[in-house]
Every structure is written in structure tokens, then in C-alpha cells.
A and B are shown apart, each in its own frame.
Chain A
Amino acid sequence: MNSNLFEVPQRQSGIGILLIFLTRIFNILKGFWAIIVYLLFTGPDMATLIYIALGLGLMSVLVLIYSFVYYRKFLFHIDYKNQEFVLQEGVFNTEDIAIPFDRIQQVYIKRSILQRILNVNSFVVETAGSKKEEISIKAISNEKANQLLAILIKVKDKYSEKITDPEIAGEPSEDRLWTHELGFLTLLKIGISTNYLRGLALIAAFFSTIYNEVRTVSEEHSELIQNYLDKLPGPMESISIFILIAVIVLFLSVLITVSEVFIKYFNLKLTQTKDSLELEMGLKTNTKVSLQPRRVQLLQVITNPVQKWLNLYEVRISLANSENELQKSKIKIPGLDQATVAKVNSFLYTGESSTFGETFTPDKLLLVRRLIFALIPALASYLIVFFVDALSFTTWLLLAGLYAVIAVIWQVLMFRSLRLIISEDFVYKKYGVWNKTEERLEIYKIQSISVFQPLWYEKKNLVNIIFHTAGGDISFRTVSKDVLPYINYMFYKIESNSRSWM
């Protein structure tokens, strides 16, 4: 460091008081806009106007005092000894933030119109993670902002070089380049096989409305209909009409999903270059993403029996990205065959060899809990019988019974499919009744782990676990405490490894 600028805590530019004052006043007025509009339209008398003026004056004085105190309390400096950027702020609630140089993701200067008029700048420091963690200095003079920017960029780059260097050196320079493209036929297959559940739901909805209509009509004119039905040539014709309508609805729903898939994934092209996977897709908006193994936080592979039979797998990748919100940076790549999924895996996760792989299953308590939650609506729906006359007890029993049977089967299958697998370098979670999902994350990319134990788990020695990563969480409920040694192993892995997780 050539100079120790910003070593002593300092305030914003003096004119900042005005900026704080104006923004606060503006915010308050924005909050009361309805009242202001009301007053403008009603035309208040003299006395009210005086009161309002007095109130406004008092408020302005208070806000001015607040702004001054805020300005006095807002202090920032660079702590060269501890290698961090420090900020203290707050009038009533005091906030004392320190950002280590090596955690700084981005620093930049920006100006709003008001700031342009007052000739000050916003200085923003961003770290990885959620939005609220960033530092923002609202009123800093041009000169200071540029100095600070230069210093922080310098220290930030120094660190990021340090981190990336060994990474590049250690990377295997294997030139296994390949490209995977989705053809017309594959897109069609995806379209047909992904969302037919929605199609089924549509059909069900369609038929239930028709059934309801017929029922209400038939109840009103039961005799008439009986006569009419007797005159009909046969039930076959009406059934064939129903089937025809069903086919049309199914066809429409398939058409909708197919066109959706075409718009989203048209011309999907996955290319592997030396150190990244390049993804390109989309008809309307062409998406281009470069996937670097280092940035990948979570990987999901999803398939269902029909798609498995067609050799179609969907891969979802969560990236760590400081600029976007975490949720948005989830990338879906459908229609990959098994070989390509394997290739993607081997590219993203090199050196996959494991000396152990421990599988954990949830306790029966989870099934009990889920069944209770699933059956509560069935029991609660019994209340409807009291209020709706059209629903007789037997129909309720039939419907609720049907729901209960399906729910129980579904929950049992779901429960049986749940698996947590911990290997030397990875955590896997497998689940799914129809859509089988396999999630995996690298242990060294875990940010932190939470272990929950509700009181009622204690006797059975169970815990819930959540693995937090920068691309989302993986949670696993009611797992035996035998998992804890593996959690400790994960901390050992994370803490003994200096590889950067992003």
C-alpha cells in the first residue's frame, strides 16, 4: 500500500446532511401522499393550514436533527491491520459492519439526479450473498470516491489473484471437447413427456365440471331426463363424444407444452470447451451461459419413468452469482441423454473417487408426520358436509376415502424414495415418486450446516439437517444421529481445504 489513506474513521461529505435530509423528507412525503392529495382536493380552512404548516416545520426540524446525527454517526475507514473495510452507522440502531478485503466482490460508484446536483456519489461495496449485506455510502465527494475505489479494487484484485492462481495450475488440461445439441425430435419428446400431468389435470377439471353440471340438471329434472334417456338409442354415442372431447383437450395441452418447450429451449446447444461448459438456447430470448465448475453450487438431475425410457434427463444447475439473486441463477437444461449427463458430471466434478458412501434413510416419524399433514384436509373437509346440503355423507366418505388412499400411497412412496448419501467428496439427496430427483453438492462448497432437534425427536435420537450452499439449501429430515460423525467429517473437509468455493 503506497499510502494509508482512509485509515482514520471519516464522515461523508458535509453536503451529505442535505442529501440525507432531502431523501428523508421525500420518503416521508411519499408515505403521506394520500393525505396530501386529499388536502389538495378538499381545500382546508386557515386553521388547518396553520396546523399543517406547523407540523411540517416541526417535522423538518426533527428530520434535520436526525440527518445531522446520522451524518455524525456515519463513519467509514479502512483497517489496514485487519485487512478490512469498516463502516459504522445508525442513529437509534447502531450497525457496525466490517468487510474483509478478500470477501469484496464488487465496488462501484453511482449517482442519482439529486446526487449529481449536490455533486456527491454513492459508493457501493458488494459481497457474495443476499442484497442486504452490501455497504452503501450515499454522499461521498468525487475525489474521495475515486481514491477509495482505486484502493479497494487494488486490494480486492490482489486477493482474487491469490485465490485463483493455484486453481488454474491444478486444473487438468484434458482437451475432451464435445457438443450436445437438441434436435427437433428431442424437443418434441420433452414437450410430450414433461407436462402431461398438467394435461391430465385439465381433463379432470373438464370432466368434473361437466359431471357437476349434469348432476345439478339431473336433480332438477330427474323425471324428464329419465324419460329422455330411455328414448336415446344407446349410451355408446354419448361416451364417444366424451372421449372425443377428452382427446381434443389432451391434444391441446400437449400442444401448449410442446410450444412452450420449443420457445424456451429451441436450438439448445451444450458445448464443452477447455475450462467451461457453454450453454446456448431459446427462440425468443437467446440465453447464453458459461458454466465453470468452480461456480456450480448445486446440481439436480431429474427424470421420470417415461423420460427415462426415452433416455431424457433434465439437469438443473445452481450457480453462485453476486450480481443476480441466487434464485434466478438456476439453469435448466432438459433433454440430455444419460451419456451426456455423465459427461457433464465428469466435467463439473473431476476426480470422482470415493472410499466410502454412507446411505441414510429418514425415520418412520417423518412418514407419520407427513400422513397427518396429508390427512388433515380430508378430515377438515368433513365440516363442509354440515354446510353444503348437496353433499351427502356417503359422497363425502367416498371422495375423502379416495383422497386418503391416494395421499397415503403417495406419501409412503415418497418416504421410501428419500435417501441421503454422503461420500468422500459429495452429499447426495435422492427423492421423488414420479419425478425422480437426484441432488448433489460438493462438500467443500457448503457454506454452513444447521442441525435441528425438536423436543420430540430426542427420545428417538433423530435430527433434521440443512446444508446451506450459495446456490440454495438441501435439507433432510428425521435422520438418525449416526449422521453426526459425517457432519463432523464435512467440517473437517471444509476447514482443512483452502480451495475457493466460487
Chain B
Amino acid sequence: MENFTNKSIDIASLPQFEEVAFQPISKSYLIKSNLQNLVFFCVAMIGWVVLFYFNITQTQLMMLLIGIVLYFGFKFWNTSQLQKNYGFALREKDILYRRGYLVNKTTVVPFNRIQHASISRDVLDKMLKISTLKIFTAGGSGSDIVIPGLTPDLALRLKEALAEKLTANEF
């Protein structure tokens, strides 16, 4: 207790998380999202074509087509907007992750609350040469961070950096 101090803190002068500059994620992720959208779009179109052989009126078919086109139009537009909003930032003592266009969401995880980190790559990730970094806390799924579309090299470096901070930060 000898080196115990209890200075009053000027709250306004603390570092502000909302002022941090975010790094964007790889452009390859946009390709991945669009590929996924495209696959679903194709599936929907095939479903629509199959409906031709059923007892459905022309107007109903047209309505359905308009619905599908509108939905996927929104999907593709939203994907491009989402891509712009993905961002992450490392500070000295925490990691920030931002995503979402219609609802912009920023999650901040202090290093000393991270349980562990993992890197995962699915088939598309491997083709496009990107990785997903997952950071787990004890706060449940809402509290975990999953950053997609990082170059494998960057993901690995981030993971190592986090691992280093995790242990160095403890004491």
C-alpha cells in the first residue's frame, strides 16, 4: 500500500476511443461477400425458374421476381456499404472493431479481458488469401470480436501481438 495514490481524474482528458483512426480490411473480403451473395442469388433464381412449372399466375411470378431483385439489389448495395465500415484499431491497451452501415457498431475489448484469440480460414478465404481473426472474452458471444478479411500475415501478426500483450499486461 505504500505506493498507493489516488489522484482525481479529469475524465475529459482521458484518451477517447471515438477519435481513433480505424484501419480498413482487405478488399478481397468484398469479393468474398459478393460471391456469397451471388451464390444465394443464383439459388433464388433457380427456385424462381422452377416455379414456372407450377400453377402460378404471371403477375405472381413477376411480383416474386421483383421481390427477389429488390432484396438482392439491397444485399449487394448493403455489402458495399458494409465493406467501407469494417475497421479495426489497436491501441496500447485495447483493440477496437467497428462494423455495420445501417447500425454502426463499435466494440472495444481491453487486452486484459481477452481469453484467447484464434485465426480461422474457410475455403473462400483460402482462395482469396484472407483470414478471419477471432478474439474471445468471457462476456459471451456479444462481447467477442470476429474481424474478417485480414491478410493472413496481418492476422498472424495481430494474434501474436495480442498474445504478447496478454501475458505482459498481467503483471
Chains A and B form a bound pair: yes
List the interface of chain A (C-beta within 8 A of B).
79, 82-84, 90, 92-103, 127-130, 133, 159, 162-163, 320, 326, 355, 446-455, 466, 468-470, 472-473, 484-489, 491-492, 494-495, 498, 501-502
Helix, strand, loop or mixed for chain B's interface? mixed
| Known interface pairs A447-B113, A450-B105; A94-B121 also in contact (CB < 8 Å) | yes
Smallest Cβ-Cβ distance to B107: which chain A residue: A450
Question: A447, B105: Cβ atoms under 8 Å?
Answer: no
Besides A97-B117, A127-B136, 8 more A-B contacts (Cβ < 8 Å) are A98-B117, A99-B115, A102-B167, A103-B115, A162-B170, A449-B107, A449-B108, A495-B110
| Known interface pairs A82-B164, A93-B122; A468-B140 also in contact (CB < 8 Å) | yes
Question: A494, B113: Cβ atoms under 8 Å?
Answer: yes
Instruction: Say yes or no for B104: interface residue by CB 8 A criterion.
Output: yes
Chain A residues with CB below 8 A from B9, complex form: 489, 492
Question: B120, A90: Cβ atoms under 8 Å?
Answer: yes
Chain A residues with CB below 8 A from B110, complex form: 448, 491, 494-495
Question: B143, A468: Cβ atoms under 8 Å?
Answer: yes
> Which of B11, B106, B114, B115 is close to A450, meaning CB atoms less than 8 Å apart?
B106
B34 vs chain A, min Cβ distance (A): 20
> Which of B102, B113, B166, B170 is close to A448, meaning CB atoms less than 8 Å apart?
B113
List the interface of chain B (C-beta within 8 A of A).
8-9, 11-12, 14-18, 93-94, 100-123, 126, 136-143, 145, 159-160, 163-164, 166-167, 170-171
A103 CA to B119 CA, complexed, in Å = 18
A434 vs chain B, min Cβ distance (A): 28
> Which of B14, B100, B160 is close to A492, meaning CB atoms less than 8 Å apart?
B14
Which 4 pairs, one residue from A and one from B, show the smallest C-beta to C-beta distance? A447-B139, A468-B139, A468-B143, A128-B138
Chain A residues with CB below 8 A from B126, complex form: 94
Could you write out 24 A-B pairs with CB less than 8 Å apart? A84-B116, A92-B122, A93-B120, A95-B120, A97-B118, A100-B166, A100-B167, A101-B167, A102-B166, A103-B116, A127-B136, A129-B137, A159-B170, A447-B109, A447-B138, A448-B107, A451-B108, A468-B137, A468-B139, A473-B139, A491-B14, A498-B170, A501-B113, A502-B138
